Amino acid sequence: MAPNVPRAVRNNYDELVLEFAACSFVDQRMALTPETAPHPPRTSRKLAWTCGLAWLAAMAIVLPVEWARWSEAERQQVPVSRRLLTEWNLDSTPYFWLLLAAPACWFWTTSRRLITPLSPPGRNEAAESPGRALHPSRRKRVAGSVLVACAAWASSAWIASLPVNAKGTVRFGDLPPAYHDEFSYLLQARTFLAGRWWLPANTDVPEVFNQVHVLNEGRFASRYFPGTGAWLAPFVAVDRPYWGQRIAGCVAAACLFLAGCELAGMRVGLVAGLRTAVSPGIALGSNLVLAHHPTLVGLGIFLAAMLRFLRVHTWEAALVAGIGLSLAMLCRPMTAAGFAFPFGLWMAWWLVRRTGASWRVRSTVVAAIGLPLVAGFVVLLVQNHAITGDWRTSPYQQYTDIYTPRHVYGFNNVVRGEKRLGPKVLDNYDRWAENLTPALAARNVFRRAVASAQWTLGLVPLVMSLVAFCGLTLHEDPRWKWVAALVVSLHVAHIPYWFVGIMEWHYVFETAPLLLLITAGATGSLLRAWRDEGRTAMGIWWGVVLLSALATAYLSVDFFVLSAVTGTVAVIAAVAAWRGLLERRLVVAIAVLSATSLGSSLMWPAPFWPVSRLDAGVSQVAFSRNKYAAFRERVRQAAGERPTLVLVVADPADRHIDYVTNERGLEETIVVGRYPRDGDLERIRRAFPQRRIIVFDAASGALQTVVR
């Protein structure tokens, strides 16, 4: 423009030029179809790096295990065909073959004409961005919750129906509990049903009825916190305690579905909820009378509500979160504290810093989340005073101080505990404790992490999911970082425990749904990125990885199972090709793999893995359950209808099966006690003149009636 043009006109002209250029750029972008719209190179490189690192991490796990398996088979001169087709390692072998196929799937791109946008045209782009997922309607959330709850019930019921004897006539769910803790929780539930905090203890020979995890200091009561017993009470009243655990698993799965919907929409919510519903560790845990599943109910409510609160900042969401956390605290206070610690730090900072919310709003929110916690603390204080006589001393702490001082929380537990040994210590059980050192703590953390991966999803799929989560998902919504922080916080909170845990992970059991939520988020991010780049084969490959984790957890592969699976895969692939969702070459590849698998099963009747992860876990628990069931049946037959006292001579070589279990109290027809250390049966006879006395030797299994 000429230099003598007035400044105002020149400025207007410049603005018009910029506006025209911007409109032309927008029109040019709008003219591009989804098939031809360019993808940012940075995103493609990020996806490639993430997938490459995930593949390398998985190979670092798989190769050493497979090398050891192959070397051992070679040392035993096992034929090559048998090495390939049998005795697979559940954590490595299936994934080794899948990892070898991954590069081919990566370079196998789908034709552009098959790529469709992930959202319909005209949908708000901002709302469809990864960080702002569309939230499903209430009707969809209800339907999804019901779906995942039904899946959780079905998986738990399936495990309960598994036969555990040679004839297949005894089911896993028909047997009595296996762990000391379970009998204590059942006692607590029956105590609450009687309208009491504790039951009367025997005052003549109280030491005879010292029971693991039961306080017996004038008041006979479970050492544990009251939430689990309260949850179980209505189900114990109808003699269906496992139903309570099963329903808790359904509620927890539904809460994870809602949490996934809150973070990334319906698809991620369904993946998170369904994976939680069918997770082998969670499903097996729903068949154990432990505190984990009632705790998961509270933590699931807290997580879903807290994630919503981080988005809407309303006192209603905070109140629901507080109620959930209070319920969890009443079951497992340390777990609840570890779970909520990252959120607690954030809320404290949110309360004191300057934000868009007024001080009144922030204080109202803190009060809403804090009042349920205060109510929970009051319940704990009432229980303390009722059972121990001291507001500040919990039954849990008093039991540890009296009976198992070496089991105390913290480092150097054995050294500290041996300074406080008393006359009532359960010596054999107390000596089980190992002295916690930094080296032992590090080993425990590693073992808990590995077992968590194995029992939630599978070691390789979870490691790959974590890499994808860090590379992609973590940056899509800032709330994802809180999910990761909860996992770390729970592990850190339990470092000072000397025991690694039941099945090497029960102290960090509550991280399982968090890990599955992370897997669901990573799956959503990967599928979206692969779809945008036309790598449909990678999406199918990842689906096979997740299905393999499910198969190794639930199925013992034989000819019939493999035939059904390969046939189903082939049919699905054919339908997908007919609908235009898959290319023909991909369908041909799937058909070839299915035929190869079926052919291998015909050559070798028991291919791949003969025992699933759940088979091994159920067998481990059923061993103890069968021993308790056999003991009870023998005692019942020997006692008849007459009141009987069974005195158990403990087996010093087996401290984990203790037959002194009186979950119905000490006034039942048959009660079980410990054989006296001094062997004075006359004193016991005088204390129980109306009871027949039977002595059971746990080591030999001998049962002898000494007083008729």
118-129 confidence digits (pLDDT tens): 443 333 333 344
* pLDDT exceeds cutoff 60 at 250: yes
First to last CA, the chain: 120
45-85 confidence digits (pLDDT tens): 899 999 999 999 999 999 999 999 888 888 887 777 677 77
71-81 confidence digits (pLDDT tens): 888 888 777 76
Q: What does the alpha-carbon distance between residue 115 and residue 532 come to, in Å, rounded to a whole number?
A: 8
Percent of the chain clearing pLDDT 70 (strictly above): 82
195: left (phi over 0), alpha (psi -120 to 50) or beta: left
**DSSP-based helix, strand, coil % in the chain, nearest 5:** 65, 5, 30
Percent of the chain clearing pLDDT 90 (strictly above): 66
Domain boundaries, the chain: 49-117+530-611, 615-707
* pLDDT exceeds cutoff 70 at 583: no
CA-based R_g, the chain, Å: 30
Give the pLDDT mean for 695-707: 89
**DSSP 8-state class, residue 171:** B
Give residue 342's pLDDT.
94
Give residue 133's pLDDT.
52
Give the pLDDT mean for 393-410: 96
Whether 498 contacts 478, CB under 8 Å: no
553-572 confidence digits (pLDDT tens): 998 766 555 556 666 666 66
Bigger pLDDT: 352 vs 366: 366
DSSP H/E element including 697: strand 692-697
* pLDDT exceeds cutoff 50 at 1: no
Tokens found for residue 357: 């919310």
- Cα–Cα distances in angstroms (integers) from residue 128 to residues 70, 199, 310, 471, in the given order: 48, 59, 19, 20
Counts for the chain of helices (H) and strands (E), in that order? 27, 7
Bigger pLDDT: 406 vs 313: 406
Q: What does the alpha-carbon distance between residue 525 and residue 68 come to, in Å, rounded to a whole number?
A: 34
Average pLDDT, rounded, for the chain: 85
